[in-house]
Copies of this chain bind each other. A is one copy, B any other.
Amino acid sequence: MASILITGGAGFIGANLARRLIEAGHTVTVLDNLYTGRKSELEGLPLTLLERDVREPIPGEYDWIFNLACPASPPHYQREPLFTLTTSIDGLRNVLELAKRTGARVLHASTSEIYGDPLVHPQPEPYWGHVNTLGIRSCYDEGKRVAETMALEYRRTYGVDVRLVRIFNTYGPHMDPKDGRVVSNFILQALRNEPITLYGEGQQTRSFQFVEDLLNGFMTYMEAPKEKLEAFFREKGLDIPVFNMGNPGEFTVRELAEEVLKLLPESTSTMVFRPLPGDDPKRRKPDIAWAKACLGWEPRIPLREGLAKTIPYFRGTL
Contacts and interface: CB of A to CB of B under 8 A. Distances in A.
Contact of A142 (B138, B145, B156): B145
A308 interface: no
Given A85-B146, A138-B152, A142-B146, 19 more contacts: A82-B150, A82-B153, A82-B154, A85-B149, A85-B150, A85-B153, A89-B89, A128-B132, A128-B133, A129-B131, A129-B133, A133-B146, A133-B149, A134-B149, A134-B152, A134-B240, A142-B142, A142-B148, A143-B146
Contact of A134 (B116, B132, B138, B242): B242
Interface of A: 80-82, 85, 89, 114, 116, 128-134, 138-139, 142-143, 145-146, 148-150, 152-154, 156-157, 238-240, 242
A290 to B, nearest CB: 13
Which secondary structure dominates where chain A touches chain B?
helix
A96 to B, nearest CB: 10
A81 B156 contact: yes
Number of copies: 2
Contacts of A132: 128
21 contacts: A80-B157, A82-B154, A82-B157, A85-B150, A85-B153, A89-B89, A128-B130, A128-B131, A128-B132, A133-B145, A133-B146, A133-B148, A133-B149, A134-B152, A134-B238, A134-B242, A138-B149, A138-B152, A139-B153, A142-B146, A142-B149
Given A82-B157, A156-B81, A157-B81, A134 B150 contact: no
A84 to B, nearest CB: 9
Nearest to A80: B157
A70 to B, nearest CB: 14
A250 B145 CA distance: 32
Contacts of A157: 80-82
Which of A80, A148, A149, A153 counts the most chain B CB atoms within 10 A? A149
8 tightest A-B CB contacts, nearest first: A146-B146, A142-B149, A138-B149, A81-B153, A133-B148, A142-B146, A82-B153, A133-B145
A239 B152 CA distance: 31
A142 B148 CA distance: 9
B128 A116 contact: yes
Given A81-B156, A81-B157, A89-B89, A139 B130 contact: no
Nearest to A140: B149
Contacts of A143: 146, 149
A279 to B, nearest CB: 13
A149 B129 CA distance: 17
A157 B130 CA distance: 25
A130 B130 contact: yes
